[in-house]
Amino acid sequence: MGFDIFIAILILIVVIVIPNIKIVPQAKSYVIERLGSYYTTWDNGLHFKIPFVDRIAKIVSLKETVKDFAPQPVITKDNVTMQIDTVVYYQITDAKLYTYGVDAPVSAIENLTATTLRNIIGELELDQTLTSRDIINGKMRAILDEATDPWGIKVNRVEVKNIIPPRDIQEAMEKQMRAERERREKILQAEGEKKSSILIAEGEKESAILRAEAEKESQIRIAEGEAEAMLKIKEAEAKGIELLKNAKADNAVLTLKSYEALNHIADGQATKLIIPADLNNIATFGTTLAEVMKDKK
């Protein structure tokens, strides 16, 4: 009899008590109801619920969840219809509110995201929509976070994944992009040709300057050479006359040198040559001419 009671108690423990011992894992919360009403929320750890009285109403994950919603048709301010899909990053912060706050929370977030997106895009034109993703993301996150707060949900981030304009708009944008690229290419080419022309002109200018300086230096050297040669000739002539004078050359020699001097004078540009009438005094004239040439030296 006692053994039967022991077996009955053991079966009772196995069937009733053990299934009501629960271990809540990390990043999970269990919402517990007692007699149909909310009783408590179990966090991670060991818990026991009363059989036939308590029940687990919902198991909630506290991890951040990423939800990629399907593309939504939206109309811009300038009446362009496009498809935009979004990605929402949210996290459950209150298991009780998440359980009892709204029916089908994920669907509610999706619908709220679609309506919010339409409202924001309706205030923007096409070009603003394509270039203002950060603004759209910020506005949507703020609106969704405030709207989902009573549901125990915190929206951490919202990203516009794709913006798909109509096909004709895409073709027009592609043409515009090609035209812009061609314009930039022509500008770069023109700038390159301009720089090349400037460099060529500067090179020709420097080359002309160098040629002029070389020509100038050459003429200076030639003039200096001629002047030095002329100076040497004059010095030689002066030394010759000086030697004749020191040697006390006779009248015959002086007369010969006078004739040579007259010959040089005749080779000049003068059209008249004055010769003393008294040829007997030619030596005296030669001596005088020699003295004059010496004084000039």
Give 172-224 pLDDT, tens digit per residue: 777 777 788 888 888 888 888 888 888 888 888 888 888 888 888 888 888 88
Give the chain's mean pLDDT: 80
Task: Name the domain boundary from 111, 140, 165.
Answer: 165
Size of the chain in residues: 297
Q: Which residues contact 88 (CB under 8 A, 6 or more apart)?
A: 66, 67, 69, 109, 113, 144, 155, 157, 158
The answer to whether residues 181 and 141 belong to one domain is no
Mean pLDDT, residues 123-151 taken together: 89
In this prediction, what percent of the chain has a pLDDT beyond 90?
Answer: 26
Domain end point (choices 61, 82, 98): 61
Q: Tens digits of per-residue pLDDT, 65-80?
A: 999 988 888 888 888 8
pLDDT at residue number 279: 46
Write out the residue range of the structural domain in which residue 282 sits: 249-297
The share of the chain scoring above pLDDT 70, in percent, equals 80
Rounded mean pLDDT, 124-132: 84
Residue ending a domain, among 128, 144, 165, is 165
Q: What pLDDT score does 288 carry?
A: 52
Position 154 pLDDT exceeds 70: yes
Residues 73-88: what's their mean pLDDT?
Answer: 88
94 against 171, higher pLDDT: 94
Determine the average pLDDT of the residues in 246-263.
56
Q: Tell me the pairing of strands 153-164 and 37-42.
A: unpaired
Looking at 25-29, 57-61, 189-193, which range is the least confident one? 189-193
Domain at 97, CATH number: 3.30.479.30
Separation of alpha carbons 84 and 72, rounded Å: 5
| pLDDT (mean) for 136-157 | 92
Residue 32: pLDDT band with limits 50, 70, 90: very high
What's residue 31's pLDDT?
94
Q: Are 119 and 97 part of one and the same domain?
A: yes
Q: Which residues contact 77 (CB under 8 A, 6 or more apart)?
A: 122, 123, 124, 125
- Same domain (yes/no): 125, 96: yes
Whole-prediction pTM value?
0.56
pLDDT of residue 93: 92
94 vs 156: CA distance, rounded Å? 15
pLDDT of residue 256: 56
pLDDT at 22 over 80: yes
Domain count, the chain: 4
Residue 245: the pLDDT is 67
CA 107 distance to own-chain centroid? 45
